[in-house]
Every structure is written in C-alpha cells, then in structure tokens.
Amino acid sequence: MLVVSSALLTDGVRASLINDFPDQTFEFYRSIDEASDRYPYIEILITYGEDLTPFHIRQMSKLKWIMVISAGMDLMPFAEIKERNILVTNAKGIHKIPMAEYAISMFLHLYHKQPIFYENQKKQAWNRNILVNEITGKTMTIVGTGEIGQELARIAKAFQIKTIGVSRNGEPKDYFDEVYPVDELITTLKHADFIVSILPSTNETKYLFQLAHFKAMPSHSIFLNMGRGDVVSSDVLLSALNTNQIAHAVLDVFETEPLPKGHPFWTHEKVTMTPHKSSHSPMYIPRAITIFRENLKKYSKGSSNFINEIDIDRGY
C-alpha cells in the first residue's frame, strides 16, 4: 500500500520507516500539492492537518487513513472524511511534556528572579539583596485537566505544590488534589499562587476569564496562558494587571497572533511573553512518528484499537 507524507520528515525518520516497514511503499513530499500525481493511489496520508480540503479527499479515492501529526483538528474536512468513513488518528499527547516544562520554567524564572540576575550580570553588579522565592509548597490552579494539565500537575506535585484542577465535569484526576467543575472556577482562584489556562478555543471557553475572576485571584498571583489566546480579552487582562489584581501574566498565546507591534503586552513590566512556543520540542516529530508506527503495525495486521483515533462526530 502507498503511504504518502505531506509533512516534512527528516532523512532519519524516512529511512527508519522504509527499513522497518518493508511491505509498505513510502513517498515523502514537502507539500500536499507536490504529491498531486499520486492522489488516486494514496492509502495512508501523514499530514500536519492544515493542508487538506474536500477536493483532496475526493481526489484521494483510495484513502483509508489520515495520520495528523499534530493535535489541532480545526482545519480538517470532516464532512467528506465521515462520508467515506476514513480513519483519522492524531498525535494528541505529544505536547504535554514541553508544555508542562514551559509552565514550570516560567514560574521558576519569575520566583527565582532570573530577569534581575540576568540584568545584574550584564551590569557586573554583585547584588545579593534580591529577594528570591521558591515554588515549593505553593498552590496551582490548572484550568483544563486533560493530558497537558495532568502532566503539569504531576511535576507540580514533585515540588509539593497543591494542585487544583478545573474541568467541564469536575471529576477527580490523577495528580490533582482537588478538581472542580468550570462553573465553580471563581472559587478555585482565591488561594492560587499560580493560575494556568490550557483551554482550547471553543464557544464555552471564549472570554471565560472575566475581570471578576482576576479580582478573585490573590494580588501576588501569576496568571499563565498557554491554551488559546481568546480565553481572556487583552483589555480585561491589562485592566487586571494595571489595577494590581494579579502580580504578573505569562502569555504564550494571544487573541491575535503574531501579537501586533506596539501592543501594550510587549512592554508591560508585568508581562512575560513567548511567541506561541510552549508546545515546541525537538522531540515533537519523533513522538508523533512513534504513535504512527504503533498504529501502522495494527493497521497492517488488519486490527483496530488505534492510538488517538478521532471520533469524527466530535472532531477530537
């Protein structure tokens, strides 16, 4: 069967797939368009999930399985996929390690006053009168208790941090000391030193954090958003910072990306920002391909029970 990748894969990954699955024919392209002559013959497609249109699905008349090597499924032509009953799997779970590290790294960055020591080194200033802090024993509210939230909670527990989760239904999860349903969000914020949003963008999550939520947070607390930018409006967050409702915001995602030049976040002394990088890792593709390989073994044997099979009706 013909396996085509429209996602750029390294020579090492290509060679190992060819070597380990001799019964399959692999073809690697740099884009879906480059593979256009091959559309009618493709049985399995490896893609980042952002290049497929209904046209492609119709042209790929033999397509049986789409492996999306990311977690976002927003741009998939699900109607056509469902009609043909095409198997879709994704790489859900591969973001959890870098994102959990990102959040912990940022809280340590701020509590250990790394920006101050960084500037003092540049000034050759030996100043020991910097009040450093420790994250051990603090309280963290994690809004979103999926795989990423759980991984963050797991590492937080190693620092003896009290972990409070917020999810749709509030059901208990490993590594969370407590979990509450989202309609009790505001009560989970009152004793939080750290608040982390890992929410995707949906109708339910858009502008979930209102000024009242920031007013409920302790004035020394740090709000970190690495889910989607529209969970809070820029104006609300700026207002919360400027009226000292919270001490700091760490932002990896924004209502508009790239964040426009001149936006107040860039220069705000209470904002630390990164350009939507929290999920990046050199292990991203290797981990995605590991999932693909496991699924390809099952597929070749005609078995099912695939890792990360997508429910087409739900879209995740």
Residues that bind its own copies (CB under 8 A): 97-98, 101-102, 104-105, 108-109, 111-112, 114-115, 117-118, 120-121, 124, 126-128, 130-137, 154-155, 157-159, 257-259, 261-262, 266-267, 272-277, 280-283
Of 133 and 210, which CB lies nearer to its own copies in the complex structure?
A: 133
> Which residue's CB is nearer to its own copies, number 234 or number 274?
274
Nearer to its own copies, 82 or 280 (CB): 280
Least distance to its own copies from the beta carbon of 281, Å? 5
User: How far apart are CB 260 and its own copies at their closest, in Å?
Assistant: 9
The strand order across the sheet containing 42-47 reads 25-28, 2-5, 42-47, 65-68, 87-90
Residue 157 in contact with residue 139, Cβ under 8 Å?
no
Q: Which amino acid is at 8?
A: L
Q: Which is nearer to its own copies, 81 or 152 (CB)?
A: 152
Cα–Cα dist 98/117, whole Å: 25
CB of 122 to its own copies, least distance (A): 8
Containing 313, the helix (H) or strand (E) segment is: none
Q: How far is the CB of 102 from its own copies (least distance, A)?
A: 6
**Nearest distance, CB of residue 288 and its own copies, angstroms:** 15
DSSP code per residue over 282-307: TTHHHHHHHHHHHHHHHHHTT----T
Nearer of residues 132 and 212 to its own copies, judged by Cβ = 132
Q: Which is nearer to its own copies, 182 or 247 (CB)?
A: 247
Q: Look-up: residue for tokens 């890992």?
A: 198
Please spell the DSSP secondary structure of 217-250, one letter per residue: S-TT-EEEE-S-GGGS-HHHHHHHHHTTSSSEEE
* Closest to its own copies by CB, 102 or 194: 102
Residue 18, classified by CB atoms within 10 Å of its CB into exposed (0-12), middle (13-18) or buried (19+), is: middle
Residues 97 and 314: their CA atoms lie apart, in Å, by 25
CB of 88 to its own copies, least distance (A): 27
- No. of helices (H) and no. of strands (E), the chain: 10, 12
CB of 72 to its own copies, least distance (A): 15
